[in-house]
Amino acid sequence: MLLRALVLALPTALLAGCANPAEIVPTTGSSVLTSVSPWSLYQGSTSPSPIGSASPEIVAAGTFLPFKAGSTAISYDPKVVPPGAKATVSIAKHPAGIEVRLETAGLIPRRTYGAHLHTKPCAALPADAGPHYQHRKDPAAAASPPSVDPSYANPRNEIWLDFTVDGYGTATTSAVLNWTFPPGASARSLILHAERTKTAPGVAGSAGDRVACLTLPER
């Protein structure tokens, strides 16, 4: 009887010894951070990003509120971006370019937002932030109408940061680019859009209404 009890207890003991919570790494959900490195999660994947050990620099952080003079974080649609929601934009350099990271909180749970970096600072009107920042500018486009050619309006030539919010109202996303900003000519704002970014010809880069804006300092 004693031998039989030991045999039955052995599998349970082995399983208990293997279940180390510190070694469990989530495999889905871009808004989940692990203890490995926040930069190891790239668009919901646990594979290492090209950044390696580079330290991110916080470029801008703000709390979205209705516009007033001097605002740097504006909610244009409080039903989509509730006043008090927050966003932080960080940038880290890697050998071939940069990684841009966006962290948000206080947004509508389980809603998908489009997000891009734009050429001008935030102002009273959503359109004042200008078009998407492009590494190679579309010669056929103007501020209005903007570039909708997939050859230029794509996540390799622009900085797209679309995300889906988790059940707690938070999300984290990042974009890795193989280029960097020229000195004094960086993107100047983050715009949140009401919809996911489209990719088809004629609508590429569009993502519905501009619902919030966070001004970025010139770099």
Q: Residues 6-60: pLDDT tens digits? A: 444 444 443 343 333 322 222 222 222 222 233 333 333 323 444 444 577 888 9
Model pTM score: 0.75
Q: Which one is predicted more confidently, 116 or 93?
A: 116
If you average pLDDT over residues 175-192, what whole number do you get?
Answer: 95
Q: Is 38 helix (H, G, I), strand (E, B) or coil?
A: helix
How far apart are the C-alpha atoms of 212 and 77, rounded to whole Å? 7
Give residue-wise pLDDT tens across range 129-176: 999 999 999 988 766 578 999 999 999 999 999 999 999 999 999 999
Minimum mean pLDDT range among 18-32, 64-78, 196-210: 18-32
> What integer pLDDT is reported at residue 53 of this predicted model?
43
Position 5 scores a pLDDT of 46
The encoded tokens of residue 139 equal 């010669």
Residue 152 near residue 145 (C-beta atoms within 8 A): no
**SS3 letters for 89-137?**
EEEEEECCEEEEEEEEECCCCCCEEEEEEECCCCCCCHHHHCCECCCCC
The domains of the chain, with CATH numbers, are 55-215 (2.60.40.200)
User: How far is it, in rounded angstroms, from Cα 196 to Cα 185?
Assistant: 27
Residue length, the chain?
Answer: 219
Report pLDDT for 218: 86
> What is the rounded average pLDDT for all residues in the chain?
80
- Rounded to whole angstroms, how far apart are CA atoms 164 and 29? 9
Among 6-15, 20-29, 92-101, 106-115, which range has the highest average pLDDT? Answer: 106-115
Check pLDDT > 60 for residue 193: yes
Higher pLDDT, 144 or 211: 211
pLDDT of residue 95: 86
Percentages (nearest 5) of helix, strand, coil residues in the chain: 10, 25, 60
Average pLDDT (81-100) is: 95
